[in-house]
Amino acid sequence: MGAFISPKVDKVGIEDRVNRITKRSIKKEAKLEGLKMALNMVDLTTLEGMDTVNKVTQMCYKAQHLHDEFPGLPTVAAVCVYPNFVKIAVNALKDSPIKVASVATAFPSGHSSLDVKITDTKMAVDAGAHEVDMVISRGKFHMGDFGFVYDEIAAIKQACGTSVRLKVILETGELGNLDNVRLASDIAIAAGADFIKTSTGKIKPAATLPVTLVMLEAIKDHYYKTGIMVGMKPAGGISNSKLALQYLVMVKETLGVKWLDNHWFRFGASSLANDLLMQILKQSTGAYQSANYFSKD
């Protein structure tokens, strides 16, 4: 267990840095460009007990037709569903560049056997998912059994194979402090995560700017050690454009411009897309339109 030693994090320092990042003033062309970039990074998500085939199909249509009245808009990056809906989504999106992501590994709690988690993962992969969003075992993490957490991520990565990208959800709202966020990030990255992700969306707090900054620093240190780029996905709690732009400023000033791409950065959100659309139209036309003009699927 002593094998996992992570750099320390100072909460006050992180908050100072975040405070400075949120003071960036994004105007005019840069604002429009940022909003479009953010829209292109959204993973439209539905992860509810009451999800149905129709709900998922409707969301997939929305993903491809964000606002047809306004041509030239980017699409979202992906849709994110439970494994049993992957086939529906893949079918619905087969003519689009939009990826299908699936949560797996006994999402959201992660309490099950490794066999069940691997089966869960394979179900999503076999159904054609491009990306798998797994959860780490937070209980084992708090018990100090970091080896268990590491091995489990490595096993799921193996189950994903080489073409499916693995996002590892740390559920930072359950980790207690920023030192743990850093440690969990380092474990996930070392075990083969293609993306690290803050939250399931089922726990509050979900994504926050301080937590995301700590995770971005972990990605950066890994890049300089190995040359390997790892993606980042804050999820949950990002519902307005202003906050989304603050996240992008943080990415730009921490990891540089290479990460400003939906291959390396995503927003896990469902209501963010419409706010971005509303702001994009406002930037272009000068007037806010009623929320009733934007479809809710």
Partner 1 sequence: MNKEIKPLKFSGKWDFDPAPESVDHISLKDQYGLFINGKFENPQTSNYFPSVNPANEEHLSMIAEAGEKDINAAVSAARKAFDGPWSKMSAKERGKYIFRIARLIQEKSRELAVIETLDGGKPIRESRDVDVPIAAAHFFYYAGWTDKLNYAFPNRDPKPVGVAGQVIPWNFPLMMAAWKIAPALATGNTVVLKPAETTSLTALKLAEIIQEADLPNGVVNIITGAGATGAGIVNHQDIDKIAFTGSTGVGKIIMKAIAGSNKKSTMELGGKAANIIFEDAPLDQAVEGVINGIYFNQGHVCCAGSRLFVQESVYDVVLRKLKDRIQSLILGNPLDKNTDIGAINSKEQLGTINKYLKIGQQEGADMFQLECPIPKKGFWCPPTLFTNVSQSHVIAKEEIFGPVLAIQTFRTIDEVITKANNTPFGLSAGVWTDKGSKIFNLTSQMRAGVVWANTYNKFDPTSPFGGYKESGHGREGGLHGLTPYLNF
For tokens 């070392």, the residue is 190
Partners of 100 in the beta sheet?
Answer: 79
According to the binding rule CB under 8 A, does residue 217 interact with partner 1? yes
Pair 127, 87: CB distance under 8 Å: yes
User: Rounded to the nearest whole angstrom, what is the least distance from the CB of residue 176 to partner 1 in the complex?
Assistant: 17
User: Rounded to the nearest whole angstrom, what is the least distance from the CB of residue 260 to partner 1 in the complex?
Assistant: 6
User: Rounded CA gap, 227 and 220, in Å?
Assistant: 9
User: Rounded CA gap, 73 and 63, in Å?
Assistant: 11
Q: Which two tokens stand for residue 42?
A: 């959204």
Pair 191, 216: CB distance under 8 Å: no
Nearer to partner 1, 148 or 223 (CB): 223
225 burial type by CB count under 10 A (0-12 exposed, 13-18 middle, 19+ buried): exposed
State which of residues 51, 145, 151, 253 lies at the interface with partner 1 (CB under 8 A).
Answer: 253
User: Rounded to the nearest whole angstrom, what is the least distance from the CB of residue 83 to partner 1 in the complex?
Assistant: 35
According to the binding rule CB under 8 A, does residue 16 interact with partner 1? yes
According to the binding rule CB under 8 A, does residue 176 interact with partner 1? no
According to the binding rule CB under 8 A, does residue 256 interact with partner 1? yes
According to the binding rule CB under 8 A, does residue 24 interact with partner 1? yes
The catalytic site residues sit at 133, 197, 233
State which of residues 35, 37, 47, 76 lies at the interface with partner 1 (CB under 8 A).
Answer: 37
Pair 135, 105: CB distance under 8 Å: yes
Contacts with partner 1 by CB under 8 A lie at 7-10, 12-14, 16-17, 23-31, 33-34, 37, 217, 220, 223-227, 248, 252-253, 255-258, 260
